[in-house]
Structures are given as C-alpha cells and as structure tokens.
Chain A
Amino acid sequence: MTALGVAAPERLADLKRRLPTGARLHFSVLALVLVVMAFLPLVVPESALPVAIRTLVFAIMAVGWNLMSGYGGMFSFGHAAFFGVGAYTNAYLLTAFGVSPWIGMIVGAGLSAGVGVLIAYLCLKYKLAGSYFALATFAFAQMFLLVTLNMEFLNKSEGINIPLLPEESWSMLQFDQGSLYYYWIPLVLLGVAVAVSISFVYSRPGQFAQAIRDDPTAAESLGIKVMKYRLIPVALSCAVTAVAGAFYTQYYLFIGPDQAFGLHVSTDAIIPAVIGGIGTIWGPLIGAAVIGPLSAVVAGFLRDPPPFLEFLYGTSGLDIAIYAILLILIVVFLPKGIYGTIRERRRK
C-alpha cells in the first residue's frame, strides 16, 4: 500500500507529458507555496510557531481526508481512526522497540491504509453510501477509541509518552523545543501529500475514481472496476492521514486515546476541507490556514482588545462562536468552500 503513496519520478514525468496544463500548473503553484511558506517562521513571532505547526498538521489531515471524501466521494466521518493508527503505531514502535519515527511513520501509513481499505471494502460491499457510509466510519473510529482504552500494551487510558532525548536527533525525529525543523518537516510532508493528491487526481485511477464518484453506474457500464478504483483513494487518504498522526506524536511527545481517536480529530480533518472546498487541490490548505490560527488569533485579540471592544476582555469561548458563525456563513454563501467557489466563479 505504501508504494501508492509515493509517485515515482518517471511516473510524474509521464503524467506531466500526458496532462500538461492542469497538473503542471498545480505543481508549480505547490513549489511556489512551499518556498514562500518555508520562510514564514523567519517573519512571524516565535510564539506563533506552535500555531503554524498545528495548522500544518490540520492541513495534512485535510488533504488526506479530501482524497477519499472529496475525490473518492466517500464521506468519512471517522478519519480519527486513521490518524490514530498512525500516531499509535509510531508511539508504540518507538517506545517498545526503539524504532525510528521515520520508519514508524511509514509502517503506520501502511497499516492505516490497510485498515482503511478493509473498512471501506466492508462498507462498500454491503452497499453503505452517503450518510450511512459516514456513520459507519464514525462507528469504526469510536470502536478504535474503545479498543485502545482497553489495550494494556497501549497503556489504556494513560496514553503513551515519547521519552525526551538529551540531544537533538534527526533519526529519532526530536529537536529542541522551538526548533524550526518542527515546522519545516510537516511543511515538506504537506508538500508530499499535496503532490500525491495532484498526481492521483490527474492519473488514470484518479480520473476513474472521480467518474465513479459522479456516477458509479455509468462508470461501471464503461468497464471501470468500481471497487478497485474506490479503494485506491481510500488507501492514499488513510496513509496521508496516518503520517499526520505520526508527526503529531513526535511533536507533542504524547498520544492518548482522545488525542488519537476523539471525535474532534475527525472533525479537524473535515472542517478545513469543507471551508476551503471539498474535491479541490487547494481547498484543504486554504481551509486549514483559516481554521488553524483562528482560535489563537481570537484569543490573542481578547487578551489585548482595542478600546471600543474593551468589554470583551477576558471572555473565553469567543473563538468557538466565531468558528461556528464562519462555518455557517461559508456553508450558506460559499457552499463549495472558499477556493471551490472562487474557482467556479472564474470558470463562468
């Protein structure tokens, strides 16, 4: 399964030959975005770094979710399951066997892809679609939460701590607190995730998957193997999300059942994609950039409000209200998300 996560160079080149406009445009935008983003920590205050890192994790999760739910058309409400499998695989392999997180990340991605394919296969085989599919994935995520809570080797409810190392280590993916590597590594991971998205979307399997999403009966009648081309985006999606989970564990040095499999983890993957635009390459990134810093920006604002808003000083929870209002406004006025709507207007 992991082989699917990496687009071989010759395949990329091949893709570019075949579909020069779309994919090439996206790849060049991606390169530009990554370069611009790489310099971000040099201009923002140090205290904003954790927020930027959290935003990158959201973005990776949302890119992952978007592969399965946006392009594959299978709405997952349980991406916490795949995030958690990635996080726990890394945490367990590292603490029990001293395995490098880089390897843990790959193993986690593979395992998560396997789990995802199995879940999706069962759901699709028994013809669960739409909200029933979403509910089934949600149920699986909850099941993982309960299983973890009862697994002695995963420390049950206590979670797993990643031990602190005396020195920075690339192989063990641990750096000094505030190190910029903690920003650049997820940035590169996000870049890879977006590159995987682009390659997939413009590849033959990707085109098949989108055709199936739009009309499975028509696609099948054309001879497309529906099950196979539905499971490919699922595997990719789960693998990408698991990578976010593994990095999360390394950055926060702790993973517990709630951090891994909690309901909020699933929504963290969905909301950026919904706000930015489901089924678009850039939607999840834009959504994450809006949602990720929201609570920190609002909280910072409330700590030092301008004079005419002095009465708001010290109020808490305002970010959640703004978050909710934003979500409602976007769903009402930009039903295809920020990027999705802009793109549509431009096409008209």
Chain B
Amino acid sequence: MKKHTLVVVAVAVALGMSGCSGTSNVAAGGDSVDSVTIGSIHPLSGSLSGVGGLMNAGAKMAVADINEAGGIESLGGATLVLNEGDSQGKAEIGQSEAQRLISEGAVALIGTYQSDVTQNVASVAERAKVPLVIDVAVDDKILEQGYSYSFRIQPDATSMGASGARSLIAMGEATGTEIDTVAYIHIEGAFGGSVFEAFKTEAEATGITVADEITYSGANFSDATTQVTQALASDPDVIVVTGYFPDNLLIAEAVNALKPDIKAVFGIASGAYDDNSFPAAAGEAASNILSANYHYSATSDRVADIRTRFEAANGESMETASMLSYQAVEVIAAALEESGSVDPEVLRDAISALSLTDPLLEFNGPIEFDENGQNINATVVVMQVQDGAVEQVFPTEIATKEAILPAFSR
C-alpha cells in the first residue's frame, strides 16, 4: 500500500509541475489607460538570438522614445510597455508566447523575424482578435489566409523576389553586363522557397534561365563549398542567394575561396549582404557583393538620429530588421493615437486605415495597408559592399554610390 502511495504522489507532483510555468507581470497593461502593453516576439535565444535581440532592442527603443515624447496623447499620455517574448526560433514556442502575451494583456503584437513562426503567431492573433504587426517575415502565405488581424510593413516574398529579378535585369542593362543564366542558392523553408519561386517566375518571363536551384538546411550549416560548387556546375553568370546571416556569410566565403568566373553574387532578402557587420565579418569575401533588400533610409535625418542613439545604447549597429521593429511599434502607437482606444478590435481598424508618413525605410510612400494587411508602398533597393561599407546603388535616385557590375574582374 505504501508503494502505491509513493508512486501516486511522485507522479502527481511531477506531472503537476507541468502547469507551474511562472508568469509574473500579469498586472501590466489591461484596460488601464495609464499604460498600454505591446507584446513582442522574437528569437531571443537559439541560433538567431543575435538578430532577435537587436530587433527586441529596436522595439524597446521605440517604446522609450514614444514615452519620452509624452506617450499616447489621445489616451491621456498613457505610456507604452513592451512585454518581451522569446520564440527560441521555434514555431510552437512562438505560438505559446503569443498566447501568453495576449493573456497578460497585450493589445497588439509585433514580430517575429521567421516566416513559420509568424505563421503560427498570426493564427493566434486572428483567433484572439488582437492585431499583429509583422516587422520581418517575408512569406506571402502569411497574409493569404484571409486573416484580418495581421499587417506587414516589409515587402512580401513575391514582391522581393520579383523586384529583385527586375533590379538585377535593369542593372545588367544599365551597365551593359550580359546576364543569361543564374544559379540560385537558398535556405530550406518557407522564406527561401517563396522568394525563389517569385524570382524564378519573374526572371524566366524576361528570358533569364534559372539553371539550378540549390537548397541547404540552416541548422548545422558550417561550410558552403559543396553548394557553391554545385551552383557553379551550371556555369551561371550570377549566383543569387537567399538566407540568413551565418549561412549567407559562408556562401560569400566559399565563393571567394573558389574565385569562380561569375559576374556577381546577388543576394535577395539576404540576412547578411546588406548588414553593416558583413563587410568586417567577411573581409575580402564581402567585396562588391550585391543585395536587393528592404533597407532603412540612408538619406533620412530621423533615421540617422535613431541609428546613432541605438548604437550608443547597444554597442552594435542598428540594422534594417531592428529598424522594422522600431517602425512596427510606431505603427501601433500611431493607431493608438488615432483611435484613442485600447480595444484590440478598434485598434485593428485604426491600423488598417492608417497612413503613416515619413517611414524609416526606403519605401515608395507612406505606410498603408491593403485589404490583406500588406504595406502597399513597401519596396526593395539594391545595395553593394564597396570599400568595406554597404552602399545603396539602385535605383539611382536613392543611390549613395554607383553600382560596380560586373562585380568581379576575374
């Protein structure tokens, strides 16, 4: 009988632990107009914790700036509170974090950097009727579910892949560089796959052959020589690359080591090639690499001020992803100001009707969302690493340097 009891107690106690996840700051936010809680979800641990942490810092800075400027006036100067969630880079953790943040009183969410995590968070937002402002996540499909509570500031995959292809072609024509064949290396998963599909459709429509599609797994990726060698087998004019920072860095290094006879390495939505830490990280391998991506405005004073303060506070350069997190908080703040309500459903309508001028990114106009929640003025620019710095090179109106194409003289 004693044995009985012990087993029962042990099992019950152990299983009981499953419920004891500590949740602390339940008091934050809620219906009080003293403060308004925004939930953020980014990969704060795991292999993407570098960029995730910086995005979180960007959002935090936006909250601090808005509070310093008097908070939300239409809510009697209510201050913003950022409740930070960690997706660990996993879709199911992102989902449970979203549920936690909402149950702790978040009236809106921002996040999440990865397409699959965002997918799950968007479904949580939809079911809980709490708006989600996507800072970074490229996959078209996220907004194709017919959800009405998800909004995206950055361009989607189709738009990035297609305008990446158009930019490449236009730059080739402008510089008299013949581009007939490309090989495409991209990360496995929704992000790489969707950008690739859009690029391929657009490129093939204009007569460019996509000779090879090479995919790699982001996990445990430690050398790209195999992938680059495989890409070179089709004798391409250009290698196009889509992926995150560590893997794209390896690809650049492998290209540099092999010194192939190609005209350019062209990143589309690459997490590395327009990152300010890339030239230093890759050294010689970074030289003249092109990148079509959404980008913070390199010509705006407001952006320059934010970036300077960010760097002073965090000791690291503020990249476009962090800028988008900052921007996402601004979008929510503007909608709160507009609606004067902390009701998430009213807030949703306000975001949907928003026209936010002076965006922090190099966009075609103010931030406005279409019926799917996509920012209609989001666009990409082409950058190039020149003399150890990332320069805007295309379109020429916003260029800080002239493009070098062919990028390599071999």
> Which of A's residues lie within 8 Å of B, judged by CB?
25, 28-29, 32-33, 36-37, 40-41, 43-52, 54-56, 149, 156-159, 161, 163-164, 176-178, 248, 252-254, 256-259, 262-264, 282, 285-286, 288-290, 292-293, 295-297, 299-301, 303-304, 316-317, 319-320, 338-339, 342, 346
Apart from A25-B7, A48-B20, A164-B127, list 19 A-B contacts with CB within 8 A.
A25-B4, A33-B11, A37-B15, A44-B21, A52-B19, A157-B189, A177-B127, A178-B103, A248-B92, A257-B189, A262-B219, A288-B18, A293-B18, A300-B23, A304-B25, A316-B49, A319-B45, A320-B45, A320-B46
**Which of A51, A177, A290, A297 is B124 in contact with, Cβ under 8 Å?**
A177
B100 within 8 A of A: yes
Mark interface residues in B80-96 (1 if CB within 8 Å of A CB, else 0).
00001010101111011
Find chain B residues with CB under 8 A from A178 CB. Answer: 99, 103, 128
**Contact partner of A254 among B120, B188, B193, CB < 8 A?**
B120
Other-chain contact of A258, B17, B26, B189 (Cβ < 8 Å): B189
* Chain B residue at minimal CB-CB distance from A343: B7
Q: Are A295 and B127 in contact (CB under 8 A)?
A: no
**Pair A164/B145 contact, Cβ less than 8 Å:** yes
* Pairwise interchain contact A297-B22, C-beta atoms closer than 8 A: yes
Closest to B91 in A: A259
Cα-based distance from A274 to B307 in the complex (angstroms):
48
Q: Are B91 and A254 in contact (CB under 8 A)?
A: yes
Cα(A290)–Cα(B20), bound, Å:
11
Q: Which of B6, B10, B20, B124 has the most CB of A within 10 A?
A: B20
Q: Which residues of B contact A156 (CB under 8 A)?
A: 193
A80 to chain B, nearest CB (A): 13
21 contacts between A and B (CB under 8 A): A28-B4, A33-B8, A44-B19, A47-B23, A48-B19, A48-B21, A56-B18, A157-B193, A158-B193, A159-B116, A177-B124, A248-B92, A253-B120, A257-B189, A282-B7, A285-B11, A286-B11, A296-B21, A297-B20, A320-B45, A339-B10
Nearest-neighbour CB distance to chain A for B256, whole angstroms, equals 28
Q: Spell out B's residues near A (CB within 8 Å).
A: 3-4, 6-8, 10-12, 14-26, 44-46, 49, 53, 84, 86, 88, 90-93, 95-96, 99-100, 103-104, 116, 119-120, 123-124, 126-128, 139, 141, 145, 188-190, 192-194, 215, 219
Question: Do B21 and A286 touch (CB < 8 A)?
Answer: no
Q: Contact between A293 and B7 (Cβ–Cβ < 8 Å)?
A: no
A211 to B16 Cα, complex, angstroms: 34
B17 touches A290 (CB 8 A): yes
B92, A252: Cβ atoms under 8 Å? yes
* B18 and A55 contact, CB distance less than 8 A: yes
Within the assembled complex, what's the spacing in Å between the Cα atoms of A293 and B192? Answer: 32
In whole angstroms, how far apart are the Cα atoms of A254 and B119 in the complex?
8
